[in-house]
Structure 1
Amino acid sequence: MIDWLLRIASGVGGYLGVFVISVLGNLIPFIPIPYLVAVYLYAALIPGCNPILLGLVSGVGAGFGKLLIYFTSRGVSHIVLSEDTRKRYSRLSSMLGMWGAIAVFLFAATPSPDDVIIVLLGLMGYNPLKFFIGVTAGKVVISILTAYTGMAVAEITGGEFWIELTASIVLFIVVMVVISLIDWEGVLVTLGERGVKGLVDEVKSKGLAAVFFSRKTNKKTRS
């Protein structure tokens, strides 16, 4: 899969190639296509690469890919949802406001399974512009971070491919472990009910670990 993406990027060429693979890597829901690996390798191996421009190009491409999933979900809502469910989802969509965009941003900016919330927002008929801004901003953030990581690892390892690969795998595992420990559901619920100020106040009163890792903390307490 990675070889296929890299061949497409090489065939199209330059940043446009990265844009194309970012669109393709985000077209199919619930099937992870590792387009960020291509972004990482491009940043690590291409001299003179601009990581910010690379991240912007990749993020916008990924946003367009996810937009197709959103519109597909929105289009089939009349088939898979009952009339009552559609009305309820429509009311929820109106209530969400910018929180829907913030939620999709948080999922898109991390290696979290963002297709779940994208499909849900599509079924709800959430505002497409707010959705696109949120998902694209998230994809830009994670793409820029990936590009800078590729450049940094390449510089630290002196361009030794196998050392780069090993360091990247270790770094990826560490990041994934940290992300998996965060209680994303609890954080989003707090944001939806009390806003950013409420989340900050809760962190001040309970501590960062109790808020962001509350699910794990509760399990330990119960045991």
Structure 2
Amino acid sequence: MIIISIALSVWLIIRRDIIQDLAGYGYIGMFAISFLGSSISIVPVPMLAVQFTLGGVLPPPVGEPILGPLFAGIVASLAEALGGFSIYMTGYSGKSSLAGSDSGSKLNRLYCKMIRLMERRGSLMVFILSAIINPFFYPMTLAAGAVNFGIRKFMLISLAGKFIKCTAICYAGYFGLTRLFGF
């Protein structure tokens, strides 16, 4: 996946006209891709690459161009938080079956460890794992649902963390693509 991501990034830099075409989908496209990438899906969605790219090219609805990545970050973070809701509900509805399945497997041990962490430090776990790029947000979200971590609390804390992550990615795209295209 890392090699594919790097190859896709290089290809997009070479074919920068495609990046301008992506901007045609605007904030609705940003929302849809971020939602799909953060919800349970069979096909992996390159949402980080899209957020990076669209953060660099989308014009803001109002104000200075430097505000474009801020608006893109808001849209992406809302979409990712809503996408995480489906994972939370999966954990909430399947808590007994997830904990009881094949207790010796590595996946089940990881899940049980996440359950214990959510019971002890739930708010901190949700915030940190939603604010950084990592593969542990999804198991943590399942665990949050399984331990009945409050849905409003989960959504607010997750949204705050996602806002930090998505806005940083969008601004990195804005400053990175501006310099790259200037070069």
Structure 2-normalised TM-score? 0.67
Describe the SS at the equivalent of 1:33. coil
Across the aligned residues of Structure 1 and Structure 2, the Cα RMSD in angstroms comes to: 3.5
Aligned residue among 21, 32, 36 for 1:20: 32
- Who is 2:127 aligned against? 105
For 1:71, give the aligned amino acid: M
For 2:27, give the aligned amino acid: Y
Structure 2 gap ranges (5+): 9-17, 60-64, 101-115
- Who is 1:143 aligned against? 166
Q: Deviations over 1:184-215 (max 9, x none)?
A: xxxxxxxxxxxxxxxxxxxxxxxxxxxxxxxx
- Who is 2:84 aligned against? 66
| Closer, same or farther: CA 43–94 of 1 in aligned 2, 3 Å | closer
Displacement of 1:157 in angstroms is 2.4
Q: Which has the higher contact order (CA 8 A, sep 6+)?
A: 2
- Who is 1:43 aligned against? 55
Higher alpha-carbon Rg = 1
Displacement of 1:93 in angstroms is 9.3
Contact 1:29 1:115 in 2 (8 A): no
| Closer, same or farther: CA 112–149 of 1 in aligned 2, 3 Å | same
Structure 1 gap ranges (5+): 83-91, 161-223
Q: Does 1:54 align with 2:72?
A: yes
Aligned residue among 153, 159, 163 for 1:130: 153
Q: Deviations over 1:111-164 (max 9, x none)?
A: 12211211111111111111111211111111100111111112222345xxxx
Q: Output the CA distance in 1 between the equivalents of 2:73 and 2:23.
A: 20
Q: Does 1:33 align with 2:56?
A: no
Contact 1:44 1:154 in 2 (8 A): yes
**How many residue pairs end up in the alignment?**
149
Contact 1:60 1:136 in 2 (8 A): yes
Contact 1:40 1:150 in 2 (8 A): yes
Structure 1-normalised TM-score? 0.56
Displacement of 1:34 in angstroms is 2.3
Q: Which runs of 4+ in 1 moved over 6 A?
A: none
Describe the SS at the equivalent of 1:13. helix
**Which of 28-37 and 139-148 deviates more?**
28-37
Q: Output the CA distance in 1 between the equivalents of 2:99 and 2:126.
A: 22
Percentage identity across paired residues of the two chains: 23
Contact 2:118 2:144 in 1 (8 A): no
